[in-house]
């Protein structure tokens, strides 16, 4: 049997989401199940933060506790106000971003009449791609490969020496934004507001500064990893926060799509050669 260290947060969240569908009644649809099922799903996912914290066990939400507080407690940060505020900002900035690929997968799934958990699980699995939050793993590997005491001007050369493309750092840049991802700007600003910084803070700040000098800006996935490193959280935390937050957005999209009563069925057009008969 594998220990928790072999299970990434994204894998665990997707497995739990699928498993929770067993507790829903077959006759309940997304509307009649309502907020109770949504709340149960979000509370369960928030509690999984404890699995990746120092106690390595599920951390059930407490009465009256906000999601950010539950996550911070599970990850071993206690009730640190600065950490709770930073995590809360990460959740808010990650909750919604138009029709990204995982969100579109949610809507397609919902349009077929699939239940809430199937819709969210479909999005989570789509989310695992390297162009989505799955790319956070590469950002963590990049940061871990850089030395302590890093200077901004050395960031890109050392990234290249470690096997990364210095002109195309993982999760730096976003097709919708010519400059900086506005969500990233908010998240990176919270690093300066932390009362206690993790040991990786100097080198992540040097990486961001060096990349910016070359016209590269971290997108929201990289910014989440960088913020989590600055807080002192373990690898995988950024992906977990994004997926947890985006789940609330996926739920809203699924319920909204269900209200339309229409199935999303794009048509395909043959683009090959037409051979004469």
Contact indicator for 120, 254 with CB cutoff of 8 Å: yes
- Is a pLDDT exceeding 70 seen at residue 29? no
Q: What is the arithmetic mean of pLDDT over 219-248?
A: 96
Whole-number pLDDT of residue 213: 95
Q: Does the fold of domain 134-231 match that of domain 9-128+244-260?
A: no
| Alpha helices (H) in the chain, listed in sequence order | 9-20, 30-47, 67-74, 81-94, 101-111, 116-127, 136-145, 152-161, 182-189, 201-213, 220-231, 237-260
Answer whether residue 277 shows pLDDT above 80.
no
Confidence of residue 7 (pLDDT cuts 50, 70, 90): confident
Q: pLDDT tens across 12-21, in order?
A: 999 999 998 8
State how far the Cα of 155 lies from the Cα of 53, in Å rounded to an integer: 30
Provide the residue ranges of all domains of the chain, joining segments of one domain with +. Answer: 9-128+244-260, 134-231
Contact 244, 208 (CB under 8 A): no
pLDDT value at residue 86: 98
CATH code of the domain made up of 134-231: 1.10.230.10
pLDDT digits (tens, 9 = 90+) for 34-56: 778 888 999 999 999 999 999 99
Residue 206: both structure tokens together: 């040097």
- Portion of the chain with pLDDT greater than 90, in percent: 73
- Give percent of the chain with pLDDT exceeding 70: 94
pLDDT of residue 26: 55
Indicate whether 1 pLDDT > 60.
no
pLDDT averaged over the chain?
91
For residue 201, pLDDT over 70 is answered with yes
Convert the pLDDT of each residue in 101-111 to its tens digit.
Answer: 999 999 999 99
Predicted confidence (pLDDT) at residue 23 exceeds the cutoff of 70: yes
pLDDT digits (tens, 9 = 90+) for 115-131: 899 999 999 999 998 88
CB 190, CB 92: distance < 8 Å: no
Neighbours of 166 (CB within 10 A): 17
pLDDT tens digit string along 125-178? 999 988 888 899 999 999 999 999 999 999 999 999 999 998 899 999 888 888
Segment 62-105, tens digit of pLDDT: 999 999 999 999 999 999 999 999 999 999 999 999 999 999 99
8 A C-beta contact, residue 247 and residue 120 = yes
State the pTM of this model.
0.90
Return the CATH superfamily for domain 9-128+244-260.
Citrate Synthase, domain 1 (1.10.580.10)
Q: Taking 60 as the threshold, does the pLDDT of residue 248 lie above it?
A: yes
């Amino acid at each position: 049997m594998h220990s928790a260290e072999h299970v990434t947060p994204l894998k665990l969240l997707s497995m739990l989401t699928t498993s929770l569908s067993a507790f829903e009644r077959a006759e309940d649809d997304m509307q009649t199940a309502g907020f109770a099922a949504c709340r149960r799903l979000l509370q369960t996912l928030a509690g999984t933060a404890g699995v990746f914290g120092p106690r390595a066990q599920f951390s059930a939400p407490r009465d009256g506790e906000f999601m950010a507080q539950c996550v911070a407690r599970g990850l071993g940060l206690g009730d640190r106000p600065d950490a709770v505020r930073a995590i809360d900002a990460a959740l808010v900035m990650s909750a919604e971003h138009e029709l990204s690929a995982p969100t579109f997968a949610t809507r397609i799934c919902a349009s077929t009449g699939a239940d809430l958990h199937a819709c969210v699980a479909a999005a989570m699995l789509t989310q695992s791609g390297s162009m989505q939050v799955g790319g956070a793993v590469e950002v963590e590997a990049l940061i871990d490969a850089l030395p302590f005491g890093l200077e901004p001007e050395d960031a890109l050369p050392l990234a290249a020496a470690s096997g990364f493309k210095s002109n195309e750092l993982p999760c730096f840049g976003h097709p919708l934004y010519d400059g900086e991802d506005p969500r990233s700007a908010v998240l990176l600003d919270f690093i300066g507001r932390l009362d206690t910084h993790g040991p990786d803070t100097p080198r992540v700040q040097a990486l961001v500064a060096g990349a910016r000098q070359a016209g590269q800006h971290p997108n929201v996935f990289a910014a989440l990893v960088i913020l989590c490193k600055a807080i002192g959280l373990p690898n995988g935390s950024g992906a977990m926060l994004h997926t947890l937050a985006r789940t609330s957005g996926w739920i809203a999209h699924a319920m909204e799509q269900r209200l339309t009563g229409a199935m999303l069925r794009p048509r395909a057009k043959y683009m090959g050669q037409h051979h004469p008969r």
